[in-house]
Amino acid sequence: MAANSANLTHRNGSSESPQDSTWSPSSWKSKPIKQEAVYSDQKAVEKAFLKLERLPPIVTPSEIVKLKSSLQDVALGKAFLLQGGDCAELFDYCEESAIESKVKLLLQMSLVLIWGSNKPVVRIARMAGQYAKPRSSPTEIVDGKEFSSFRGDILNGYDLDERDLDPSRLVTAYFHSAATSNFIRASLASGIADLHKPLDWGLGHVQDPELQSKYSAIVASITDSLRFMKTVGADTAGQLQTVDLFTSHEGLLLDYEQRLTRRLKRPSSSPSVPQTDAKTTDDGKAYYNTSAHFVWVGDRTRQLDGAHIEYFRGIENPIGVKIGPTTPSSDLLPLLRKLNPRREIGKVTLITRYGASKVRNLLPEHIRTVEGSEYRQTVVWQCDPMHGNTRSTSTGIKTRRFADIFSELQETLAIHKEEGSYLGGVHLELTGAAVTECLGGSEGLEEEDLSLNYTTFCDPRLNEKQALEMAFLIAGHYRAEQ
Q: Could you report the per-residue pLDDT of 393-446, keeping only the tens digit for each? A: 999 999 999 999 999 999 999 999 999 999 999 999 999 999 999 999 988 999
Read off the pLDDT of each residue in 45-70 and give the average, rounded to a whole number: 98
CATH code, residues 27-136+168-193+242-272+282-481: 3.20.20.70
- Residue 277 pLDDT exceeds 50: no
| Chain center to CA of 453 | 25
* Average pLDDT of every residue of the chain: 90
Complete DSSP assignment for 270-310: SPPPPP--TT----SEEEEETT-SEEEE-TTS--TTSHHHH
Cα dist. 113→81, 94, 101, 348, 404 in Å?
A: 9, 27, 18, 22, 20
d(CA 282, CA 205): 57
Q: Where are the beta strands (DSSP E) in 213-356?
A: 246-250, 261-265, 285-289, 294-297, 319-323, 348-352
* C-beta separation of 106 from 84 below 8 A: yes
User: Could you give the dihedral angle defined by the CA atoms of residues 80, 86, 88 and 93, in that order, rounded to the nearest 10 degrees?
Assistant: -130
SS3 assignment, position 140: strand
Give the model's pLDDT for residue 418: 98
- 34 and 303 in contact (C-beta within 8 Å)? yes
Question: CA torsion, points 221, 224, 225, 231, in degrees to nearest 10?
Answer: -170
Least confident residue range of 69-73, 136-140, 271-275, 336-340: 271-275
The share of the chain scoring above pLDDT 90, in percent, equals 77
Output the pLDDT for position 202: 66
Q: In this predicted model, what pLDDT tens digit does every residue of 118-139 receive, in sequence order?
A: 999 999 999 999 999 999 899 9
Binding residues: 87, 126, 322, 353, 387, 429, 459
Which residues on neighbouring strands pair with residue 398, listed in sequence order? 392
Within 8 A by CB and 6+ apart from 68, the residues are 8, 316, 317, 318, 344, 346, 347
Which is more confident, 471 or 270? 471
Average pLDDT over residues 29-54: 97
Nearest in space to 64 (alpha carbons), one of 265, 253, 352: 265
pLDDT over threshold 90, residue 186 = yes
Q: Which residues participate in the annotated binding site for Mn(2+)?
A: 87, 387, 429, 459
SS3 150: coil
Sequence ranges of the binding site for phosphoenolpyruvate:
126, 322, 353
| Length reported for the chain | 482
pLDDT in tens, 235-245: 554 555 568 99
What are residue 246's DSSP bridge partners? Answer: 124
DSSP element (H, E) containing 401 = strand 398-401
pLDDT tens by residue, 75-120:
999 999 999 999 999 999 999 999 999 998 998 899 899 989 999 9
Domain boundaries, the chain: 27-136+168-193+242-272+282-481, 206-241
Which residues, 6 or more positions from 179, have their beta carbon under 8 angstroms from its beta carbon?
A: 94
Q: Which of 331, 336, 456, 478 is nearest to 409 (CA)?
A: 478
